[in-house]
Structure formats: C-alpha cells, structure tokens
Structure 1
Amino acid sequence: MAEETESYLYKLEAVLEEGRLLTVVVIAKTDERAFTSAENNLLRHTIVPPRIKEMSLVEKKPFGRQGVGYVVETSTFT
C-alpha cells in the first residue's frame, strides 16, 4: 500500500492573455495536482474561461503546521 503523502498549501500566479494577474491558493499533495486545482478554480471563478498565458508556483508550505498562510498584495490605495 502506498504511503500517504503530506498536503501542502500552494500559492500560484496566473498571467492571463489580456494582462491580468490572478493569485490562486490551493491545498494539494503534489505540484501537478496544485496546478490542476488552480486551473479548475480559475475556471469556476471566471464567467468566460480564462486564456492563461503562464502559471507559476510562487510558494509551497507544509499544510500541517498552525498559522501557515500567505499575504497576497492586491492593490495600492492612494
């Protein structure tokens, strides 16, 4: 029987063809599943399926620790 692997909290960034940058945070056991989950979340989040130019893994942290999280900078107010 295969050993259960640890889950990770992933922060990914997707650059869309129209120039928008979206940050996606998912929980997954592998990098491959993180990218798949991020794409699925983008599809559910948008009305028109997004044309993803590029997707990058920005951070990966073990999920089992208390207080694990990310800060996502979204805009600047003036």
Structure 2
Amino acid sequence: MYLYRVEIELEEQLVYLIVVAETDEKAFSYVDSHMDRHFLASPAQLEVSILEKKRLDKGAGYVIETHRK
C-alpha cells in the first residue's frame, strides 16, 4: 500500500488529496468519489497529477504548504 499526494487543478483553485491506494491507477480512480463527497457540486477537473508516493509505514505523511496573498 502507498500513500499518495495528488494535486487536482480546478478552474479557480488547486486542491490536494491524500489517499491510500495499492497502485497509481487505483489512486486516480479514487479522485472522483472524494471530490463528489467534498464539494456540493463537483467542479470540473482540468488536470490531476500524482506529486508524491510513499510506502505506507508508521509515521508516513506529508507537509502541505499554503501561501498567503
């Protein structure tokens, strides 16, 4: 199992999904269901990219930076 950091480019923003999956293909397949659950109306996705992939071990995680305007 792997821990994925997925970047999803929408028209007006970038969103990030952290998901556990067995393969890259499975990680991509989970994107739509998570987007549907998070947004009232799922926005159009311009691009979906895997930014990082780590083996799922104790303590595995990601730091996600945000920048203030």
User: Normalization by structure 1: what TM-score?
Assistant: 0.81
1:38 Cα shift? 2.0
User: Max radius of gyration: which structure?
Assistant: 1
Give the gaps of 5 or more residues in structure 2. Answer: none
Q: Which residue of 1 aligns with 2:3?
A: 9
CA distance in 2, matches of 1:50, 1:76: 23
Gaps of 5+ in 1: 1-6
Hey, what's the Cα distance between the residues in 1 that align with 2:67 and 2:53? 23
Aligned residues: 69
Higher strand fraction: Structure 1 or Structure 2? 2
- The two structures, once aligned, show a CA RMSD in angstroms of 1.3
Q: Which residue of 2 aligns with 1:23?
A: 16
Deviations 1:16-65 (CA, angstroms, capped at 9, x unpaired): 1x2210000000001011011122111110001210000000000000x2
2:68 to 57, 60, 76: 76
User: What is the percentage of aligned positions where both structures have the same residue?
Assistant: 41
